């Protein structure tokens, strides 16, 4: 949106005095420029501002969604760390039980006269 006037141009505009006052053509031309700018502004206000406001609302919704997702990610990380800690405990318990069973099997093999270290 390119405006024809600035506030400085409007404030500093000087019309050429005429016998009847100012030159009517200059005044009309200047007022036409002002009207053109106001029409641009009105069009912007009617068409663009509602769109910009809807986009601001949309962006705020996205920001809220990001915040919610960040909270969910943090909660999931906590759950994963708990799960990983539990799995480590379960694995350690499973390993302990397997080692205990292997020890029992080795004792039984020795009782039968078989050296478990020589088995392939």
Does residue 113 sit within a domain?
yes
Does residue 17 sit within a domain?
yes
* Cβ partners under 8 Å of residue 27, min gap 6: 15
Does residue 65 sit within a domain?
yes
Q: Is the per-residue pLDDT at 97 higher than 70?
A: yes
CA dist 88 and 15 (Å) reads: 89
The structure tokens listed for 74 are 């943090």
Does residue 78 sit within a domain?
yes
CA dist 63 and 76 (Å) reads: 20
> If you compute the radius of gyration of the chain from its CA atoms, what whole number of angstroms results?
43
- pLDDT digit string (tens) for 45-94? 888 888 999 999 999 999 999 999 999 999 998 888 877 776 666 667 77
Does residue 1 sit within a domain?
no
SS3 call for 18: strand
Does residue 40 sit within a domain?
yes
| Positive or negative torsion for Cα 76, 81, 84, 86 | negative
The structure tokens listed for 63 are 């920001």
Supply the range of the domain harboring residue 90: 7-118
More confident residue, 118 or 74: 74
Output the pLDDT for position 64. Answer: 94
- Total domains present in the chain: 1
Does residue 2 sit within a domain?
no
């Amino acid at each position: 949106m390119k405006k024809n006037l600035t506030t400085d141009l409007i404030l500093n505009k000087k019309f050429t005095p005429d016998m009847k006052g100012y030159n009517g053509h200059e005044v009309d031309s200047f007022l036409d420029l002002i009207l053109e700018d106001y029409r641009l502004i009105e069009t912007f206000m009617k068409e663009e501002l509602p769109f910009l406001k809807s986009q601001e609302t949309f962006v705020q919704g996205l920001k809220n969604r990001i915040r919610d997702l960040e909270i969910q990610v943090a909660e999931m990380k906590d759950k994963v760390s708990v799960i990983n800690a539990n799995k480590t405990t379960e694995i350690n318990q499973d390993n302990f039980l397997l080692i205990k069973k292997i020890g029992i099997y080795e004792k039984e093999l020795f009782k039968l006269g078989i050296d478990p270290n020589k088995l392939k």
